[in-house]
Each structure stands twice: as structure tokens, then as C-alpha cells.
Amino acid sequence: MGKLVIGIDYGTDSCRALIVNAESGEEIAVSESYYRRWRNGWYCDPSKNRYRQHPQDYIDSLEEALRGAVSQLPAGAAEDIAALGIDTTGSTPCLTDRSGTPLALLPEYAEDPDAMFILWKDHTSIREAAEINELAHRWNPDFTALSGGIYSSEWFWAKALHALRENESIRKDAYAIIEHCDWMPALLTGRLRPEEVKRSRCAAGHKGMWAEEWGGYPSQEFLSRLDPLFDGFAGHLSNETYTGDIPAGELTQEWAERLGLRKEIKVAVGIIDAHAGAVGAGIKAHTMVKIVGTSTCDIVVTPKEDMKEKFVPGISGQVDGSVIPGYIGLEAGQSAFGDIYAWFKHLLSWTLQGVEAGEALISRILPALNEEASKLTVMENDPVACDWFNGRRTPYADQKLQGGLFGLTLGTTPAQIYKSLVEATAFGSRAIMEHIEKEGIEIAEVIGVGGISLKSPYVMQTLSDVMGVPIKIAATQQAGALGAAIGASVAAGCFDSVQNAQKVLVQKHLTVYYPQDKHRKVYDVLYNRYLKAGIFMQDFR
């Protein structure tokens, strides 16, 4: 069959394994496994914005998904697998012991949420993020300078510090911190010792305040001034980071046997899922890739010469070598997108939950809302929503902000409210694009990828209308896994660069949504009302 590569994509709810022919670009097999503990709602408390995932879920789903994909290959074809790459959500860090084992895998912490991976959308560390910002802005250098000038509660250091502060019982064994995207390759290659882990440039630069300009991660002096609980932690991280096209090592004998693969298979350095999705969608210079799902990530890559000494404020970082090696990768996004639609569905269906045949009715709510909303005329006096239901990620992260609905009357229908929520998420996307362009970053095209881009024409057409640009839809249904596989193909020597691998492995676009001129002026009016609603919500808190 030629050389094969595997992309492993860890999303919020499941792990997906994709096997790709590195010579033809054909997607050979795909398999998905859902996290059992997560599906049961264990260790999470939405009322407190606490979302934790057990590392055993990651292990179990990896074995199930990968074996499921390999089982679809013809007999003997597994011998042609040259490498595998892994992407994960981020920032999703976990405290580990001296050996690099996540604390939740130790018997005494097996049921302790603070010993588990802290999911990207966990916002329990708002206080810690504020303290990091306050100290960093007085420090020289300002370690947030390449993170948009604002450190987020969604990120590495804030989450780890919150867990250490809140839970005295884990402190005696907490030795280091690891991102999910770094732990998986380390686990599979047996290189788990914290000081020796090959850490992702994407995760370290965008979420961990790592930069070559100041020699790596923040200094120990800074971390200890932040809180003595961080004493010694700087020395437990290597200040060298790696791009996702570099080998982290080879499968250990144990993991080769557990996964039914050859021991010689190379494992690429891990990357963040949004960055992998951008690569799998075909990102290139001056392209914005919108990964549209429960939240959004907006990824742009730009040549180094275009950036010069420019620092873009209010985004989730600009990192040399993230996304595509040799370029500056910029990240932005929205803390809630599809999650807002899911919230409204649950709001409408609460009386059906637990009722016989209720689930079948609940599953019909969003399709019905999409259909009815698409029939509505767009008018200047329509209800307007603010999309900060899970805080604001970009521009200028602030997880204390909240969403809102404006302009409701006793005649407002569910479809009108849903329409305003969809438009709010589109307005948030427009605000991000305008912010980046205002800072002098060229965006020549927009590519949409992710579940919503494939499943909801109404949402994507609204997004195109509001942003005022055509949006190409990536054909692959597994952009993240494909991006991870592209990194693996370069790590295995199948290609000499990510760009050349993309030429063979990236699929053509499925469709293109074009902005409708008839809506432009009305959406300009509604967008201005959205901006005013945001000002109100900032004053309201």
C-alpha cells in the first residue's frame, strides 16, 4: 500500500485515529473512541467552570481508536506504518510526579480532580491568571508580551497554580507540569522524565509563556515570586521546544504490543489540536483557518519578515515555528461557539430530560431551529446577543465576562433567539478578524473546518455574511488527525517539509460560502449593536 502514517486527534469528547497513505494522500481508515469517564460527567462541575479529564480515559481511548483503525487495513498492511503524530486540546495540563506520571494514575490520587488533566475550557484559575498578568506587566521582560499581553485562565501556569493552591494533599508528589500533547508522545516513547520530555513549540509558546527571546519558560525567580509553591518547577522543564514535524522517539516495545504495531514506528512531537486542524485544512501564509466546534480557534501563519518587531496585542500568542515551522503562527478564538447552541438546546429541552422518548425529541431541536432561523428575514431591529457565555478569549482574554440577550419582547420566538445566538458567534468572529487586520496582519482567505463547518450550512452562511468574506470548507472530516499525520509524515522522512506534505495529503475544498450582498448593510447595523452590547456587559459585571 506504500508508506502509511497515523494521525491521532484528541478532542474534547473523544479520540480519533486516522490512517493515511503518505504517497497518494488517500485516507485509508478512521476510528473513534469516546472517553467513558468524561461521558458520565465524572470529575466536572459546570457550575464552577471545572472540567477535568482522567488520564486513563486518554489511554483507553487511544488503544480502542487505534486498534479500530488498524483492524480496517488489509492483512499485513500495518507493517507499512512509518510514523504516528498526536494532537490534543490545549491548554490541557496536568501535575506529574518525578517520573513524569500524571498524579491521577497513582492509586492515592485516582479520584482526585486536581490530579487530573485540566481541560482547555476549565476556568477555575481566573484569580491565578490575574496575578500572573499583574506580576508579568511589572517584570522585565514581560513574559506575556508574545501572548497578546494577557495571560488567560485557560492556560498552563494558571491552571497548575490553582490546583496546587486548592489541594494541599497533592503537593508532596507534584513535581512538574505537562501538557496533554506532550504527555502522549512521551508515554508512547518511554521518555517521560520531566526534564527530558520533548515539549511542543505550539503549546509552550502559546500557553506556557515560552519564547527564545527570554531563553525559554519564565524564570524561576518570576515563578517563585508569583507563588513559592512553584519553587523548583522551572528546573523541571527543558527550555528547548520542538515543532510537530520532529520525532519525539520510537514506540516502546510495550506500546507496540498494546497497539498492534511495529516497535520501529516513529512518534512525532505533539501539537495543539487547532494547529493540527489548520495544517490539515491547508493553511498557508496569509490564510485564516477557523476551527469551528464547541469553541473556535482562529489560526493565521505569516512570514517572519512581515512581523519584524511587531507584537499583536489581545490574541493567544504569536510563536515562531508554531503551526508551520519557519513561519510565525498566530492564534485567536472564541471561548464558546457550538457550546452556546448546545446551551440553548438544553434550556429548551429541560422538561424532556429523563422522559421516555425524550432524547429522540431533544435530538430534533437544533435541526428544527436551524431550519426555522434560516427562513427569517434579517432586520435591523432583530434581537442581539453577546457571545461571551464562557468568557472572552479574543480580542483581550477576560474569562469573567458573561453573555447576554438584548431586544426581547413577548413576541420573540425560539427561532429568533437562536438566530441572534448564531449571529453573535459570527459577530465575535468578525471582531477577531478585524482586530488582527487592524494590527497589520494580512488575511487573504478564510477556511472553515470542524464539525459545525460540515454540518450546519445555516451557521456557515451566516458567518460568511457577517464577516463579509468567502469561507472555503475543508473537505476532510478529520482535519486535526490529518494535520497530526502530516507532521508524522515529515518526522518519518516521507517529505522534507510540512508544506510539501500538504501538497500531497491535503484534500480539496468541499464547498465555498459567499457573503450575500443583501445582508451586508443590515449586518453592519446589527454588528454595531453587538459591540454596544459588549460594552454594556463589560460594565455590568
349 within 8 A of 437, measured Cβ to Cβ: no
Residue 484 corresponds to which cell in the numbers above?
Answer: 497530526
Note the pLDDT tens digit of each residue in 170-216: 999 999 999 999 999 999 999 999 999 999 999 999 999 999 999 99
Query: What pTM was computed for the model?
Result: 0.92
Examine residue 464 and state whether it is found in any structural domain, yes or no. Answer: no
List the beta bridge partners of residue 7: 18, 85
Share of the chain above pLDDT 90, in %: 91
> Average pLDDT in the 51-71 region?
97
Instruction: Report the distance separating Cα 295 and Cα 68, nearest Å.
Output: 28
- Rounded Cα distance between 433 and 350, Å, is 36
Q: What is the pLDDT of residue 353?
A: 84
CA 75, chain centre distance (Å):
35
Could you give the residue ranges of the DSSP H alpha helices within 139-193?
156-166, 180-189
Section 222-248 average pLDDT: 97
User: Which residues in 65-139 belong to E strands, given as ranges?
Assistant: 81-88, 93-96, 117-118
- Does the residue 502 lie in any domain? no
- Residue 63 CB contacts under 8 Å (≥ 6 apart), including other chains: 258, 259
The string of pLDDT tens digits covering residues 114-157 is 999 999 999 999 999 999 999 999 999 999 999 999 999 999 99
3-state SS, residue 242: strand
- For the segment 507-536, the average pLDDT, to the nearest whole number, is 96
Question: What's the N-to-C CA distance of the chain in angstroms?
Answer: 59
Question: DSSP character for 86?
Answer: E
Q: Cα(58)–Cα(88) distance, rounded to whole angstroms?
A: 10
Taking residues 239-260, what's their average pLDDT? Answer: 96
List the one residue out of 258, 286, 235, 208 whose CA is nearest residue 446. 286
Residue 540: predicted pLDDT: 85
Q: Is the pLDDT of residue 2 over 80?
A: no
CB neighbour list of residue 264: distance below 8 Å, 6 or more residues apart: 250, 251
So what's the pLDDT on residue 391?
92
Chain position carrying cell 516497535: 263
**pLDDT (average), residues 514-518:** 95
How far apart are alpha carbons 16 and 467 in whole angstroms? 31
CATH of the domain at 226: 3.30.420.40
Residue 509 lies inside a defined structural domain of this protein:
no
The beta-carbon contacts of 347-350 under 8 Å, at least 24 apart in sequence, are 348/414
How many whole angstroms separate alpha carbon 196 and alpha carbon 240? 10
Average pLDDT of every residue of the chain: 95
CB-neighbour burial class of residue 527 (10 A; exposed 0-12, middle 13-18, buried 19+): buried
- pLDDT tens sequence across 294-341: 899 999 999 998 887 788 999 999 999 999 999 999 999 999 999 999
> Strand, coil or helix: what is 412?
coil
Report which DSSP code applies to 120. T
Q: Per residue in 364-408, pLDDT tens?
A: 999 999 999 999 999 999 999 999 999 999 999 898 899 999 999
In which residue are the cell numbers 512553584 written? 230
Whether residue 328 is contained in a domain is answered as no
Residue 80 counted as domain residue: yes
User: Which H or E run contains 25?
Assistant: none
CB 149 within 8 A of CB 313: yes
Query: From CA 289, how far away is CA 441, in angstroms rounded?
Result: 14
H/E stretch holding 203 reads helix 201-207
Domain count, the chain: 1
Residue 98 has pLDDT above 90, yes or no: yes
Q: Compute the half-sphere exposure of residue 374: CA atoms within 13 Å on the CB side of its CA.
A: 13
Q: How confident is the model at residue 271 (pLDDT cuts 50, 70, 90)?
A: very high
Which residues form the domain of 209?
4-269
**Assigned domain for 531 exists:** no
Mean pLDDT of the 13-35 span: 96
Residue 283 lies in a domain: no
The pLDDT value given to residue 310: 84
State the greatest distance between any 2 C-alpha atoms of the chain, in Å, as a whole number. Answer: 66
Residue 114, C-beta contacts closer than 8 angstroms, at least 6 positions apart: 52, 95, 163, 166, 167, 170
283 pLDDT above the threshold of 90? yes
- Residue position matching grid coordinates 510526579: 97
CA angle 234, 235, 240 (to 5 degrees): 85
* 1 pLDDT above the threshold of 70: no
Query: Is residue 181 assigned to a domain?
Result: yes
